């Protein structure tokens, strides 16, 4: 086996100074050659580690067998920070993005397995806590573009916004909100089964054959989740139907609003909204939140569930709460 195959990269920016590092960290000197720069069970000093960035080193490496440990730490840290009142909302969103990044990276290198799925569940528990404690759209989304991973940014954005819409619609059961947030986080996992060059293309750049292949990703994602054997049907339905719409012009089934899963209606809208407001292959010039609302309502002709759209509009148009006195 090639030595490089037993290591996984972790962005230096994802590490948190002052935390106990659970694994050995390495830098890659050349293809297949790694050198240890930090030992397991020592406190991270990022002032030292970030010196590597001045040498154009963006990533450190961990052994593949150790990755789940550092991923679990990232998720645990996000959960703790999100519950603290003395941490700014922008910082909370940063920790959430870092935790999500570890999940997506594991998926890239190992594939979707039950451990990764349970990690995703833990991330969405943090999503619900964040949404319940901070309801302002602008605050939560202001720093989602901090990662260079478009799919990660988009998936976290859809997860958080889907949960916000659900709360605005009056959903009170935490289990329902967590399914909604989990479906939002995993809605595009089918894209991971497609050629990487294809998902970096905009839709208008794709050939007919490429577009048809791209449109299989909801089915592919649902199939991956079905293969795990323990994923709730609601989450699978969200993944399968997140590109359907109320007027039956979506895919892959082209079903109308009345036949769509209730939670999929929300994620489909959140998916479109985030596609318009975060930079990506199909959106080099993102719109503001209000411009995106107007575009969905006027230009697209509101092809989404009306109740969900009204809830989204209330989320976006909410003014910051003023403190009494």
- For 69, the token pair is 């440990």
> Which carries the bigger pLDDT value, residue 174 or residue 1?
174
Q: Is residue 182 part of a domain?
A: yes
Q: Is residue 324 part of a domain?
A: no
pLDDT single digits (tens) 86-98:
888 778 888 888 8
Quick one: 163 and 274 in the same domain? yes
Q: For residue 287, give the nearest of 304, 302, 269, 272 by alpha carbon.
A: 272
Quick one: 166 and 268 in the same domain? yes
- For 321, the token pair is 């709460």
For residues 91 and 251, what is the distance between their CA atoms, to the nearest angstrom?
37
Which of 68-82, 221-235, 291-305 has the least mean pLDDT? 68-82
Quick one: 52 and 95 in the same domain? no
Most confident among 55-59, 93-97, 197-201 (mean pLDDT): 197-201
Find the mean pLDDT for residues 7-19: 80
Find the mean pLDDT for residues 191-200: 91
Helix (H, G, I), strand (E, B) or coil at 243: coil
pLDDT mean across residues, the chain = 87
For residues 221 and 199, what is the distance between their CA atoms, to the nearest angstrom?
14
- pLDDT category at 319 given cuts 50, 70, 90 is very low
Split into its structural domains, the chain has a count of: 2
Domain interval for residue 2: 1-67
Q: Is residue 290 part of a domain?
A: yes
Quick one: 182 and 100 in the same domain? yes
Quick one: 125 and 4 in the same domain? no
Report helix, strand and coil shares of the chain as percent, to nearest 5.
60, 10, 30
Q: Is residue 313 part of a domain?
A: yes
Q: Is residue 218 part of a domain?
A: yes
pLDDT of residue 147: 61
How many CB atoms are located within 10 Å of the residue 245 CB?
23
Quick one: 133 and 63 in the same domain? no
Quick one: 214 and 265 in the same domain? yes
DSSP at 282: T
Whether the predicted model's global pTM rises above the 0.75 cut: yes
- Which are the contacts of 120, defined by CB distance < 8 A and separation ≥ 6? 103, 182, 185, 186
Which stretch of DSSP H or E encloses residue 208?
A: helix 208-214
pLDDT of residue 10: 85
Task: Check pLDDT > 70 for residue 22.
Answer: yes
Q: Is residue 77 part of a domain?
A: no
Which of 36-50, 55-69, 110-124, 252-266 has the least mean pLDDT? 36-50
- For 153, the token pair is 């940014």
C-alpha angle 248-305-154 in degrees, rounded to nearest 5? 90
Quick one: 92 and 186 in the same domain? yes
pLDDT of residue 156: 92
- For 119, the token pair is 């990690």
Quick one: 14 and 90 in the same domain? no
pLDDT of residue 324: 35
Contact between 100 and 123 under an 8 Å Cβ cutoff? The reply is yes
C-alpha angle 137-141-143 in degrees, rounded to nearest 5? 150
Q: Is residue 322 part of a domain?
A: no
> Which carries the bigger pLDDT value, residue 205 or residue 32?
205
Quick one: 168 and 88 in the same domain? yes
Quick one: 203 and 62 in the same domain? no
C-alpha angle 65-94-200 in degrees, rounded to nearest 5? 70
pLDDT of residue 321: 41
Which stretch of DSSP H or E encloses residue 63?
A: strand 59-63
Which stretch of DSSP H or E encloses residue 27?
A: strand 25-30
pLDDT single digits (tens) 249-305:
999 999 999 999 999 999 999 999 999 998 888 888 999 999 999 999 999 999 999
Q: Is residue 235 part of a domain?
A: yes
pLDDT of residue 140: 67
pLDDT of residue 141: 66
Report the CATH number that the domain containing residue 255 is assigned in CATH.
Answer: 1.10.3210.10
Phi, psi for 149 (deg, rounded to 5): -90, 105
pLDDT of residue 60: 87
Could you tell me what percent of the chain has a pLDDT over 70? Answer: 91
Quick one: 59 and 93 in the same domain? no
Task: Check pLDDT > 60 for residue 244.
Answer: yes
pLDDT of residue 210: 97
For residues 212 and 201, what is the distance between their CA atoms, to the nearest angstrom?
14
């Amino acid at each position: 086996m090639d030595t490089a195959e037993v290591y996984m990269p972790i962005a230096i920016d994802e590490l948190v100074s002052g935390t106990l590092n659970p694994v050995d960290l390495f830098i890659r000197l050349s293809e297949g050659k790694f050198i240890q720069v930090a030992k397991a069970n020592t406190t991270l000093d990022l002032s030292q580690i970030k010196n590597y960035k001045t040498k154009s080193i963006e990533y450190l490496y961990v052994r593949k067998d150790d990755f789940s440990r550092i991923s679990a730490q990232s998720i645990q840290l996000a959960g703790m920070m999100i519950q603290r009142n003395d941490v700014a909302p922008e910082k909370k969103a940063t920790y959430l993005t870092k935790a999500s990044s570890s999940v997506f990276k594991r998926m890239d290198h190992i594939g979707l397995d039950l451990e990764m799925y349970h990690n995703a569940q833990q991330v969405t528990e943090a999503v619900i806590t964040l949404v319940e404690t901070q309801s302002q759209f602008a605050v939560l989304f202001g720093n989602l573009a901090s990662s260079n991973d478009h799919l990660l940014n988009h998936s976290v954005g859809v997860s958080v916004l889907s949960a916000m819409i659900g709360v605005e619609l009056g959903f009170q059961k935490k289990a329902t909100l967590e399914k909604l947030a989990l479906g939002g986080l995993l809605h595009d996992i089918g894209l991971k089964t497609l050629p990487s060059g294809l998902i970096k293309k905009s839709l208008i750049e794709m050939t007919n054959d490429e577009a048809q292949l791209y449109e299989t990703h909801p089915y592919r994602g649902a199939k991956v989740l079905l293969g795990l054997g323990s994923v709730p049907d609601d989450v699978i339905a969200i993944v399968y139907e997140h590109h359907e719409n109320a007027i039956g012009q979506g895919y892959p089934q082209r079903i109308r609003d009345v036949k769509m899963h209730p939670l999929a209606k929300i994620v489909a809208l959140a998916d479109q909204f985030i596609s318009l407001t975060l930079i990506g292959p199909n959106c080099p010039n993102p719109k503001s939140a209000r411009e995106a609302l107007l575009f969905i309502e006027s230009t697209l002709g509101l092809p989404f569930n009306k109740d969900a759209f009204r809830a989204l509009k209330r989320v976006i148009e909410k003014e910051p709460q003023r403190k009494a006195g």
